[in-house]
Structure 1
């Protein structure tokens, strides 16, 4: 079964993303972290099976998404995990910082509900359907 870690503190975006994955029929378990600290605990838990992809917001409580990305991409245990920044920030400095730290993709959340769900569905189709990952890491 595919596994996604969705790191999102907005309950509306969280539910829309879950619904989009369910409708996409990717055979996906969506694990949720509602802040950056919870995401790091999940990703670095001993024996934790890594997700196929992490969808990561930037503006998060406790530890922001950029710091989570920095930790994930700097650690040999997790740097192979694809990280898609799914955020409301369209600021050039955030975009640049995320790609400098190794983000695999940067997507600005559509404001409209249907467009948001379509974007999440496309993310799932690519990262869970088309993209091959090295699971030996």
Structure 2
């Protein structure tokens, strides 16, 4: 049986983090969740990690100090982190934000539903997809390019 999907959630908003944590933890043993309150903290945690890196980084666009786009850019510019899938999880539906995320090599862009039952479905789909992208519990490493 594959191991848990390890996620790093980066969201500066305490209420947003709470709601997302509830949704991800509702997945039970399928998900191991760590959180960071800022992009700077996330990058430090990813770079300083002595353990296993997350399978997927989930970023909010609005992070203090360095927004989600800046964090995404830093991840994709770091040879040690470039392989990590990054999912943008945002309230923004602006086409410019979606286009920018993909141009910076985001793996996916999810607009958070304001309706909690639909948000739970989004999280279920996100977790299900990334679990299927792993082979024998190991993440598939993307080729930088």
CA displacement 1:80-100 (0-9 Å, x = unmatched): 111000001111221111111
Cα distance, 1:12 vs structure 2: 2.4
1:98 and 2:104 equivalent? no
Unaligned regions of 5+ residues in structure 2, if any? Answer: none
| Contact map agreement 1:35 1:62 (CA 8 A) in 2 | yes
Decide whether the 8 Å contact of 2:133 with 2:140 is kept in 1. no
Report if aligned partners of 1:4, 1:30 keep a CA contact under 8 Å in 2. yes
Say whether the 8 Å CA contact 1:36–1:63 is kept in structure 2: yes
Question: Quick one: distance in 2 between partners of 1:131 and 1:83?
Answer: 13
Contact 2:25 2:33 in 1 (8 A): no
Q: Note closer, same or farther for the CA distance 1:104–1:26 as it changes in structure 2 (3 Å cut).
A: farther
Structure 1: stretches of 5+ with no match in the other structure: none
Q: 2:66 aligns with which of 63, 68, 82?
A: 63
Distance in 2 between the 1:36 and 1:89 partners? 18
Let me know the Cα RMSD of the aligned residues.
Answer: 1.9
Q: Tell me, in whole angstroms, the C-alpha distance in 2 between the residues paired with 1:33 and 1:51.
A: 13
TM-score normalised by L of structure 2: 0.85
Asked if 1:37 is matched to 2:43, the reply is no
What is the TM-score when the length of structure 1 is the normalising length?
0.89
SS in structure 1 of the partner of residue 48 of structure 2: coil
Structure-to-structure mapping, 1:1-137, within 5 angstroms: 1-127=4-130, 129-132=131-134, 133-134=139-140
Displacement of 1:3: 1.4
CA distance in 1, matches of 2:71, 2:32: 21
